[in-house]
Chain A
Amino acid sequence: MSDDTTGRPDLSTALREALPAYEAPAALSAWATEQARRYDMEAHDASTTAPARKHVRTLSRARWQIAAALVCAAALGWAGATLRGVTHNGSAESQTPALSSIHIFARYCQGTSSTFNPAIAIPSNRGSRDA
């Protein structure tokens, strides 16, 4: 665009005319195209053939064992507390289920579970109360 009054080009026009924009050389374009296609093909293959890796939280073997032991303890404790409540007819309030579960789990871990008898396993203060 040139100024109508002076006939001189404005700065932008003069700059664009003086400083040409260059086309990338053919050899460079060909090389870049080849590399880009190869890159895209590898990216495409990777996205379609390889299963997308999902980030799933998994526990280690040791943690699984601990978790399983805790679940067993809770279950045994609950069962023990229930049995105790049935056996002693409601006197279970003298020992909390949590404490019962700890006692039972401790015995269980000592290997007495094979001869497990809730009536023996659960210490009771009933006798002293009765006395």
Chain B
Amino acid sequence: MVRRSSNVESRVAPDATTPAPKHASEHAPERGFERVVLPHLSAGFTLARYLTGNAQDAEDAVQDAIVRAMRYFHTLRGEDARPWFLTIVRRVCLTSYSVDYQARENSLSVDEPALQLIDDDETPDTALERSLVRDRVREAVDQLPPLLREAIVLRELQGCAYHEIAMITDAPIGTVMSRLSRARERLAVLLHGVVDMGDVA
């Protein structure tokens, strides 16, 4: 491994770094791994961050996912690699980083940004109020079961379409819609009076 010491090294085989391209002739230079997959690195890291619950495991998981993505790059069809890469990241988190979907061991651990005014018109009071809303929302999301939390993060944070979430989570699209609906209903209850839920509740 080139990167600094990491516990990924023990999980990834020594020869797993830069796996030999399979069916190299299928890979035209303009369809390179760097151009197709690396733009989604931060999306993968964000997903791993919310699934594993901490930055170090997320970093290791993404590193592991990159190695796997190289190995299976020849299986990628089409140009949109985001759901494909997020699927790999999720599987790595699931298999190697003890993301337990039945229990609720992992909880959100969000790096708290410093309280800051977003524009000149905002008063410290409104900034404080915004910060409190943020805390309440985080607490509410943290109380969601992992499957519902995962669906809401993919939908609201990553902006994934239903069919992309279905692909990433390996679930039927109806199940995805059901999970999102249940997640919003729970959030509506937990955030009653804090956020405007529209017609969800």
Interface set of B (CB-CB < 8 Å, partner A): 2-4, 17-21, 24-25, 27-29, 32-34, 37-38, 41-46, 49-50, 55, 58-59, 62-63, 66-67, 70, 73, 108, 110-111, 113, 130, 133-135, 137-138, 141, 152-153, 156-158, 184, 187-188, 191, 193-198, 200
Contact = CB atoms under 8 A, between A and B. Distances in A.
A50 B137 CA distance: 56
Contacts of B70: 35-36, 39
B28 to A, nearest CB: 8
B32 A36 contact: yes
Contacts, number: 158
Contact of B42 (A3, A24, A46, A47): A24
A51 B169 CA distance: 40
Given A31-B2, A31-B63, A15 B156 contact: yes
State the main secondary structure of chain A at its contact with B.
helix
A52 B134 CA distance: 57
Contact of B46 (A22, A29, A40, A52): A22
Contact of B195 (A8, A35, A39, A40): A8
Contact of A32 (B38, B49, B108, B158): B38
Interface of A: 2-3, 6, 8-25, 27-29, 31-40, 42-44, 46-47, 50, 52
A35 B110 contact: no
A24 B28 CA distance: 27
Contact of A52 (B25, B34, B133, B200): B25
Nearest to B108: A19
Given A15-B141, A28-B41, A20 B110 contact: yes
